[in-house]
Amino acid sequence: MTVEAQRDLTFSLNHSTICLSGVSPNQTLLEYLRLTGYVGTKEGCGDGDCGACTVVLIGADEQGKPQPTQYPN
């Protein structure tokens, strides 16, 4: 049996910095959001195919301009 290492994770959610430690690589972003009260994101098919669990990520291009992308959870 292989045990996957837990990791630390930092990200911005609705303009707030979230720092998590000991995150299981098996937990999805959808699970985290739902467990912490962000219930707008829904689970549909459970595989990411239908798009119900899509979360919008905003990165930056080379000039620092925001570039939204969609990420199915």
| Domains detected in the chain | 7-72 (3.10.20.30)
Both structure tokens of 21: 């430690």
Please check the confidence at residue 1 and state whether its pLDDT lies above 70: no
Amino acid residing at 16 = S
Which residue would you say has higher pLDDT here, 62 or 10?
A: 10
Partners of residue 16 on adjacent β-strands: 13
* Dist. CA 63–CA 56, nearest whole Å: 20
Nearest to 16 by CA among 31, 35, 38, 34: 38
Question: What's the pTM value of the predicted model, to 2 decimals?
Answer: 0.56
The per-residue pLDDT for range 14-71, each reduced to its tens digit, is 888 888 888 787 888 888 888 888 888 778 887 777 777 777 777 766 777 777 665 5
